[in-house]
């Protein structure tokens, strides 16, 4: 009972769950919706910026490419002298600040003409004649014969990331070196403010542009990032990734002509700030709701349980015997019905209790009457029995006198034989039977009397030293033990509570039975042991006698039942009946383990003495 869940607790938990679960469900769905909505918004924002930046980059490249192509067309369509060409190249570099330098290579890949910013014009001679035929851009333009953009590389002049645009001009090649700085400036102008950052990545996955200028210069490879891998594989889209210990969400778009990637990102911290806010509100809401639900649940459950508690108190009163108690029905229909049922039950119990008491009284009176009858009968039967026994004795004596007298009297021979038979055999035999029967009747009557007296005698309970008591029992039977050469062993026995005399009687009867119902072919062995189990002292009396058929294990306790009535072992068949009656009165019990010819073990259980109790001597 102690381990069962309390109804009140169950009620409280149920009420909390009923209130919390809908909140969790609704909140979870709301969060999911918000997350999807936010992700969509991020994609939209990213895409808008990507389009703007993409157009800007494209425009930038197209403008630069247009200038170079114009230059190429101009150079190819006219005959110009060297100075004109050099002047034109230098003017172009000066005019468009995103050009670092321009070179015109001959068909062998050697630099023929140079265009440099005016502050470096003195270096022009240094470059003329240089062999650039091994460069990637020279090889590519020779292969594809069309304007070709390079990937980003570290400029040996500026130390910054640059790129080249190579344009074929008849059998010559125009190579223009671009600084990415101006491109970066344009991108910066577009994405002022906000949390979005735009990054430019070339076809090798190298970071060309980042709002943090330092990162732009470090030639960082981003090939391991998911959006870069996706973009290089031709897949635009929005992806989450982690870079330099920070988590981002970014959209990747491809820049036409160059094949570069534009990645517009923001940290997931910024992106999902609103969702995190909502999560916090949601969690706080759950917490507050749980507290409120708990308080309300406790209050409500207390109110609901109160009628049950009152009902419980009322039933206790009824159980204690007060059947007239008024049961409080409480404010609810169900508790009212329950109270009514309890009242009906109390009335039924009261009536049955009355009947029981009446029956008990009648039974008690009848038992008393029966015991009185038995007692009176036993007592009153005693005189007639004594008379029968006495007069049987006188008859026996008279027979002997008549036999003596007949020795001196002449009897007709035809009557002498018959007379001798009557006097010597018939009459003594009849008297013998009468005497035996009266003795038996006397023993039975004594036994019944003893049985009746048991019901009337007072019981004196005390703590008993069982080893001492057992010694007394054995001593009283010592003669019998010696005569039968029996071996009686008594172990150390625990104490018990009981009436000394009656317990003595119990064990005397059991030891007596063990000696009486011995196996005549072997030496009788009787062992008495004891132990404590569950606050009970259990004593076992084991013998190696003739044993008891299991079919008779309960019958042996019946009045006048004898195990072997034909073997004339003796006794009235009341020994075990008396043992059981005594044990019933002393809160004891007896149990038999036995089979025919295999001995018997009688187990007697009595209340054990606690260790602190002093054993009475």
Partner 1 sequence: MGMNYKNFIMSLLAAMSIFLFAGGCSKKKPVKIGFIGGITGRVADLGIEGRDGVILAVEQANRAGGINGREIMLIIKDDKQDPQTARNVVQELIDEDVSAIIGHMTSSMSMVGVPVINENKVLMISPTTSTNDLTGIDDYFFRVYPYSAQTSRILAEHIYKKMGHNTVFVVYDITNKAFTQSAYDYFKQAFEGYGGKIVGDLTFTSGPQVMFSDIAKQVKLKNPDCLYLLANAMDTAMLCQQLSKSEHNIQVVTSDWSATDEVIQYGGKSVEGMFFYHSIDKFSDSPKYLEFKKDFIERFSSKPTFASIHSYDCARILITALKINQDPLLLPETIKSIKTFQGLQSQIEFDEYGDVIREHFPFRINNGIFESIK
> Can you tell me the distance from the alpha carbon of 71 to that of 174, in angstroms, rounded to the nearest whole number?
9
- DSSP state, residue 610: P
C-beta of 12: minimal distance to partner 1 in Å?
11
C-beta of 148: minimal distance to partner 1 in Å?
15
218 binds partner 1 (CB under 8 A): yes
242 binds partner 1 (CB under 8 A): no
> Can you tell me the distance from the alpha carbon of 462 to that of 434, in angstroms, rounded to the nearest whole number?
45
Count of residues engaged in binding partner 1, rule: CB under 8 A: 36
> Can you tell me the distance from the alpha carbon of 263 to that of 555, in angstroms, rounded to the nearest whole number?
102
Stretch 394-423 residues interacting with partner 1 (CB under 8 A): none
Q: Which residues pair with 237 in a beta bridge?
A: 252
Element (H, E) at 133: none
240 binds partner 1 (CB under 8 A): no
- Name the one range near partner 1 by CB under 8 A: 77-85, 153-161, 381-389, 394-402: 153-161
Identify which of 481, 459, 585, 610 has the alpha carbon closest to the alpha carbon of residue 535. Answer: 610
- Name the one range near partner 1 by CB under 8 A: 149-157, 280-288, 335-343, 367-375: 149-157
Please state, in angstroms and as integers, the Cα–Cα distance from residue 122 to each residue in 87, 125, 239, following that order: 13, 7, 50
- Per CB under 8 A, the list member of 15, 114, 206, 488 interacting with partner 1 is 206
Name the residue nearer to partner 1 (CB basis): 138 or 323.
138
C-beta of 176: minimal distance to partner 1 in Å?
17
134 binds partner 1 (CB under 8 A): yes
- Per CB under 8 A, the list member of 3, 189, 320, 617 interacting with partner 1 is 3
107 binds partner 1 (CB under 8 A): no
Stretch 258-277 residues interacting with partner 1 (CB under 8 A): none
Name the residue nearer to partner 1 (CB basis): 218 or 558.
218
Name the residue nearer to partner 1 (CB basis): 9 or 429.
9
C-beta of 16: minimal distance to partner 1 in Å?
14
Cβ atoms of 34 and 26 within 8 Å: the answer is: no
> Can you tell me the distance from the alpha carbon of 197 to that of 191, in angstroms, rounded to the nearest whole number?
7
109 binds partner 1 (CB under 8 A): yes
298 binds partner 1 (CB under 8 A): no
- Per CB under 8 A, the list member of 18, 66, 123, 300 interacting with partner 1 is 123
- Per CB under 8 A, the list member of 35, 38, 47, 133 interacting with partner 1 is 133
C-beta of 290: minimal distance to partner 1 in Å?
15
Cβ atoms of 180 and 160 within 8 Å: the answer is: yes
> Can you tell me the distance from the alpha carbon of 222 to that of 206, in angstroms, rounded to the nearest whole number?
6
β-strands 536-543, 589-594 pairing: unpaired
219 binds partner 1 (CB under 8 A): yes
Identify which of 464, 532, 543, 448 has the alpha carbon closest to the alpha carbon of residue 502. Answer: 464
287 binds partner 1 (CB under 8 A): no
Name the residue nearer to partner 1 (CB basis): 293 or 576.
293
Cβ atoms of 278 and 31 within 8 Å: the answer is: yes
C-beta of 252: minimal distance to partner 1 in Å?
17
- Per CB under 8 A, the list member of 77, 129, 384, 565 interacting with partner 1 is 129
- Name the one range near partner 1 by CB under 8 A: 26-34, 131-139, 180-188, 479-487: 131-139
172 binds partner 1 (CB under 8 A): no
- Per CB under 8 A, the list member of 4, 78, 145, 612 interacting with partner 1 is 4
C-beta of 529: minimal distance to partner 1 in Å?
40
β-strands 487-490, 525-533 pairing: parallel
Please state, in angstroms and as integers, the Cα–Cα distance from residue 614 to each residue in 398, 500, 537, following that order: 63, 15, 16
Please state, in angstroms and as integers, the Cα–Cα distance from residue 439 to each residue in 109, 387, 446, following that order: 153, 12, 10
Cβ atoms of 184 and 97 within 8 Å: the answer is: no
- Name the one range near partner 1 by CB under 8 A: 132-140, 172-180, 520-528, 554-562: 132-140
Crossing angle of helices 181-190 and 7-77, rounded to 10°: 130
- Name the one range near partner 1 by CB under 8 A: 77-85, 122-130, 179-187, 312-320: 122-130
Cβ atoms of 120 and 171 within 8 Å: the answer is: no
256 binds partner 1 (CB under 8 A): no
221 binds partner 1 (CB under 8 A): yes
Element (H, E) at 170: none
CA angle at residue 603 from 601 to 607, to 5 degrees? Answer: 165
> Can you tell me the distance from the alpha carbon of 31 to that of 277, in angstroms, rounded to the nearest whole number?
10
233 binds partner 1 (CB under 8 A): no
**What does the block give as tokens for 555?**
């019958």
- DSSP state, residue 152: P
C-beta of 139: minimal distance to partner 1 in Å?
10
299 binds partner 1 (CB under 8 A): no
Q: Which residues pair with 161 in a beta bridge?
A: 154
- Name the one range near partner 1 by CB under 8 A: 5-13, 45-53, 250-258, 593-601: 5-13
- C-alpha distance across the termini of the chain, in Å: 43
- Per CB under 8 A, the list member of 17, 26, 130, 422 interacting with partner 1 is 130
C-beta of 534: minimal distance to partner 1 in Å?
25
Name the residue nearer to partner 1 (CB basis): 205 or 330.
205
C-beta of 133: minimal distance to partner 1 in Å?
5
Q: Residues of 231-259 as b/e, b for ≥16 C-beta within 10 angstroms?
A: bbeeeeebbebebeeeebbbbbbbbeebe
Name the residue nearer to partner 1 (CB basis): 104 or 327.
104
Q: List interacting residues with partner 1 (CB under 8 A).
A: 3-6, 9-10, 109, 120, 123, 125-126, 129-136, 154-159, 204-206, 214, 217-219, 221, 223-224, 245
């Amino acid at each position: 009972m102690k381990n069962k869940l309390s109804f009140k607790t169950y009620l409280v938990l149920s009420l909390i769950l009923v209130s919390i679960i809908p909140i969790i469900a609704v909140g979870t769905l709301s969060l999911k919706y918000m997350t999807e909505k936010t992700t969509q918004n991020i994609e939209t924002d990213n895409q808008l910026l990507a389009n703007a930046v993409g157009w800007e980059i494209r425009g930038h490249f197209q403008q630069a490419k247009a200038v170079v192509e114009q230059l190429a067309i101009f150079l190819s369509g006219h005959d110009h002298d060297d100075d004109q060409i050099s002047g034109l190249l230098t003017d172009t570099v000066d005019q468009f600040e995103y050009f670092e330098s321009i070179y015109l290579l001959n068909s062998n890949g050697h630099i023929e003409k140079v265009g440099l910013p005016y502050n470096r014009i003195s270096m022009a001679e240094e470059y003329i004649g240089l062999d650039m035929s091994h460069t990637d851009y020279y090889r590519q333009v020779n292969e594809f014969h069309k304007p070709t953009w390079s990937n980003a590389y570290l400029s040996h002049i500026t130390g910054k990331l640059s790129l080249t645009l190579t344009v074929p001009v008849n059998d010559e090649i125009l190579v223009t070196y671009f600084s990415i700085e101006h491109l970066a400036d344009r991108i910066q102008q577009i994405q002022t403010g906000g949390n979005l950052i735009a990054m430019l990545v070339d076809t090798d996955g190298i970071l060309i542009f980042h709002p943090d200028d330092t990162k732009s210069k470090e030639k960082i490879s981003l090939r391991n990032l998911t959006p870069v891998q996706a973009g290089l594989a031709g897949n635009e889209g929005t992806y989450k990734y982690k870079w330099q210990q920070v988590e981002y969400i970014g959209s990747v778009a491809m820049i036409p002509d160059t094949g570069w990637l534009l990645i517009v990102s923001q940290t997931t911290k910024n992106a999902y700030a609103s969702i995190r806010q909502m999560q916090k509100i949601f969690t706080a809401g759950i917490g507050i709701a749980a507290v409120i639900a708990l308080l309300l649940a406790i209050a409500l459950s207390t109110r609901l349980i109160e009628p049950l508690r009152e009902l419980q108190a009322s039933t206790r009163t009824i159980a204690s015997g007060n059947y007239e108690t008024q049961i409080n029905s409480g404010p609810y229909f169900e508790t009212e019905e329950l109270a009514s049922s309890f009242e009906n039950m109390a009335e039924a119990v009261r009536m049955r209790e009355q009947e029981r008491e009446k029956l008990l009284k009648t039974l008690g009176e009848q038992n008393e009457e029966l015991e009185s009858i038995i007692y009176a009968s036993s007592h009153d039967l005693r005189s007639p029995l004594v008379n029968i026994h006495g007069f049987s004795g006188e008859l026996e004596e008279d027979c002997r006198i008549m036999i003596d007298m007949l020795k001196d009297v002449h009897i007709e021979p035809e009557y002498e034989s018959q007379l001798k038979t009557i006097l010597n055999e018939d009459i003594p035999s009849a008297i013998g039977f009468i005497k035996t029967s009266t003795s038996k009747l006397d023993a039975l009557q004594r036994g019944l009397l003893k049985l009746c007296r048991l019901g009337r005698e007072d019981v004196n309970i005390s703590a008993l030293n069982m080893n001492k008591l057992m010694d007394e029992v054995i001593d009283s039977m010592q003669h019998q033990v010696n005569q039968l050469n029996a071996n009686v062993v008594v172990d150390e026995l625990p104490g018990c509570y009981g009436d000394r005399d009656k317990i003595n009687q119990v064990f005397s009867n059991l030891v007596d039975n063990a000696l009486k119902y011995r196996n005549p072919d072997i030496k009788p062995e009787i062992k008495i042991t004891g132990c404590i189990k569950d606050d009970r002292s259990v004593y076992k009396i084991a013998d190696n006698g003739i044993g008891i058929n299991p079919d008779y294990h309960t019958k042996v306790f019946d009045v006048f039942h004898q195990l072997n009535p034909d073997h004339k072992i003796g006794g009235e068949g009341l020994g075990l009946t008396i043992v059981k009656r005594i044990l019933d009165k002393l809160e004891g019990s007896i149990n038999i383990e036995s089979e025919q010819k295999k001995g018997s073990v009688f187990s007697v259980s009595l209340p054990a003495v606690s260790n602190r109790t002093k054993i009475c001597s």
